[in-house]
Structure 1
Amino acid sequence: MSSPLPIAFPTFANNKENNACKDALRQLCDLGYYFPLAGLYLLVALMGNSRGFRTDAPTIWQKRVIITRNYLSKRMNLNLQHKKAIVCGSTQGIGKAAAIGLAQLGATVTLLARNEEALQATRKELPSPNHQQHSYICADFGHPEQVQQAVSEWLKEHGGAHILINNTGGPPGGQAIDAALSEYTDAFTKHLICNQLLAQMLVPYMKSEGFGRIVNIISTSVREPLAGLGVSNTIRGAVASWSKTISMELAAFGITVNNVLPGYTKTGRLASLIKARSQQQGKTEDEIAQGMLAEVPARRFAEAEEVANAILFLCSPAAAYITGINVPVDGGRIRAL
């Protein structure tokens, strides 16, 4: 099904010329090129002279759109039309921003979280430029057997997914040495065990399609451990190691596995960390926030959508040769190379 036209096209005197304009732009839109530059290029191509458009406009459109398609298809293909994605932790923050972005690029999105009311509300917010029928799965990552059962039921109806975004709320803060064993096992279950479970359930379909994208949203702590986040540092490192390992196992099947490492991002998680540090250090929340900003060369916190943009790229056809890496989105905070 053709995409709706996101950019304007010129109006000609006869319908044949109008239809040629529409068809040319739709071809670009179906490739995922939603940029005004592409449309502008084609509009300029139609200009025969300063007096107006050429009388052979349809022929020009047809020739120039082929040239433009050939050029752009070798450059940046972000189109996810006909792709299916499961996004975990997708009712708020980075997960929600990623779900919205994937839907905008044409993917049919399935939200996965534990709050059904929030899932229903978020599904209504998902765009459908290609008339996608989005869905959701309600399950708690604290109970892997529940996740397995819920996803198994979803697979019976939907067959599988090309894209998996692993994303789960981080463990509570605190010193690693003081953490109870139950804190480690709980975090291990919610992060690594559920990631493994979902990968095992979805990879067979990805292999059959010759296309797969697994993106794990973890933390910059895999590069530089963060003070006061002992359990999180430990678990995130385990996920990063798991990710690198399976990236090597799956690359030959057209499946990439990468990690996105968000820095300080304006989400509920950041707000809770600031509040906890404020109470621990006897400072105001503003003082804590300013201290955190001082660590970031960009001197601001990230928007969730900025982190999502990195996720979207890694999910796209354009990122087919990128696998097994960590991508920090942190405003330059990590000092390591």
Structure 2
Amino acid sequence: MRCFCVTGHGQPLELIHQDIPQPQGTEVLVRVKAAGLCHSDLHIWEGYYDLGGGKKLSLADRGIKLPLTPSHEISGEVVSAGPDAGPVQTGMIAVVHPWIGCGACPACLRGEENICVRPQSLGVMRAGGFAEYVIVPHPRYLVDLGGLDPVKAAPLACAGVTTYSAIKKFGDRIHETPVVVIGAGGLGLMAIEVIKALGGKGAIVVDIDADKREAALKEGALAAIDARAPDAATQIVEAVGGACGARAVLDLVGSTSTVSLALDSCARGGHVVIVGLMGGDITLASPIIPMRPLRIEGSYVGTLAELRELVALMRDGKIRPAPVTTRPLDEVNDALRALQQGRVVGRQVLIP
């Protein structure tokens, strides 16, 4: 089979020919029909996360080893299974939950494999979807698409479940005032849909790119604000509909400037959820947190249960797929460069 692998950070992904893997034990072999490209794949390709102040967290420090086949947004067809997998429906078209844990730690036993301290995530720790076939450790990680388009559904495994999990953390706030969504890429456009599906007041979208702001408006954003405007925080407060500020801010970028903007535009008692990993650092006087008082929370992808809920919402027609651009798998390096240069509206999905 063909697979495209990171063999050197910052170098073009290399086409490698391998034998089709044979499932062992509880494993399932899936023929890849679609594999999404995510900013996390970009970090894996580059080899580090920016911690701000000139500091970097290398992927080697996280235990990620090369060569590695990226892509954790995978949908495909079940081909075969190992002898211990139990009843498995061959031919089923499914999206794969890639955020796999060790299965034994307290987080995994709570159903939060996505925050396992010994993760086995597909496309990060194990071979992912930029290949013709992928091994899934257990059939429970397969979510039946029930007739949904596997190309449009592939981003649910990250862009979808990440925004869904993050927005759920706001609780009833989404019903009180619009959610401020910083970042209008694939996650931002998906966030607009999730907020609508959960009965929220809507989204105020913030981005530096005019094309992405326009895309957000087309997807149903209540307003789109230029993050680089000198009065961006004031515009956000006005767009939310009151002089107090935003009650809920979702930062899908996670840079120094966006986190600062999120905090500047928050109301007293505001809640900021940070998802993005673009990097940097902030300086925040600690008394400000209780005095305002602010709730600052991180959110990392999502659980298997949340992915199942999200797929059900899409099957029921309550969530539309985010805009998707398809490319042949052979164009993966062009797709990476387009993402790195900020030229992508929506999500890119590679087709083997």
Question: TM-score when scaled to structure 2?
Answer: 0.32
The higher-RCO structure (CA 8 Å, 6+ apart) is 2
Q: Structure 1 or 2: larger helix share?
A: 1
Q: Structure 1 or 2: larger strand share?
A: 2
Question: TM-score when scaled to structure 1?
Answer: 0.33
